Amino acid sequence: MKMDEQTLGGGRRYLQETRYSRRAWGPKERTYPRAHPFKSYPEAQARVELPPRPQVAPADLWDTLARRRSLRHYVDRPLTLAEVGALCWATQGITLVERSFPYRASPSAGALYPVETYLAVHRAEGLSPGVWHLNVLDSALDLINPGDTARPLVEAGLTQSFLGSAGVVFIWTGILNRAMWKYRERAIRYIFLDAGHVCQNLMLAATALGLGCCPVGAFFDDEVERLVGVDGQEEVALYLAAVGALGP
């Protein structure tokens, strides 16, 4: 089915306009500035160091893949700091430094790592309730928005209640110019693909740890962005995932 310009919605138009094709290959007119590859919060109200490499029991990959499910019912047990540290490492941990360049556990188009990680902590040992930012280089969590965020997160997530009963909710944003300076408009595709990889790593790590995890794509973008304090223009909400302890 061939659609004309009139019937093409924004999403389809984006896909058409950002296709790589041999016919239209070459320099493009629009350029974007390069964004800093790491975000940090020196003014954070608290910092908790995470182990640079998690100390967890080994798990069988094939068994973990077979057991992974989106799980939405959690018990009250707080997550341990070791669990939170292992989850953060599985998603964004630095796993290789080559010629001084740090590569992470999740792949990223052009190794540009446009995805930022925030944790809305409801119940986790050693971490007070609030929104924490993952400092990837330092392997640390910085408290940037203290207080109970369970209710606003459930509201932001279209009243999906497991966003409030989770121990922590991962919130991923994308810093557009980290990828757009190189890939221009096509970068948006890659940023969402990056986020998918990050979330899959989280789900597999949660499964290996015996925790429940559920990805969430249904949320009011501006409400999530307000919780983590980003502008919704240059840094935008991408994806959430709840993680909680499971019953016996």
- Footprint of ligand FMN on this chain (CB under 6 A)? 69-70, 72, 160, 214-218
> Would you say 143 or 190 has its CB closer to ligand FMN?
190
Confirm if 86 and 100 have CB atoms less than 8 A apart: no
In the complex, minimum distance from the CB of residue 207 to ligand FMN, in angstroms, rounded to a whole number:
10
75 vs 193, which CB is nearer to ligand FMN? 193
- For ligand FMN, the closer of residues 46 and 65 by Cβ is 65
- The distance of closest approach from Cβ of residue 241 to ligand FMN in the complex, given in angstroms and rounded to an integer, is 9
Nearer to ligand FMN, 50 or 214 (CB): 214
- Least separation in angstroms between CB 212 and ligand FMN: 10
Residues 225 and 102 sit within 8 Å (Cβ to Cβ): no
- Three-state secondary structure call for residue 179: helix
Taking the complex as a whole, the smallest distance from the CB of residue 202 to ligand FMN amounts, in Å, to: 12
**Residue 225 CB partners (closer than 8 Å, separation 6+):** 173, 231, 232, 235, 236, 237
Query: DSSP states of 74-111 as a string?
Result: --SPPBPHHHHHHHHHHHH-EEEEETTEEEESS--GGG
- CB nearer ligand FMN, residue 34 or residue 69: 69
Closest approach, Cβ 127 to ligand FMN, in A, equals 24
Helices 187-208 + 81-92 axis angle, to 10 = 140
184 closest CA partner among 18, 60, 52: 18
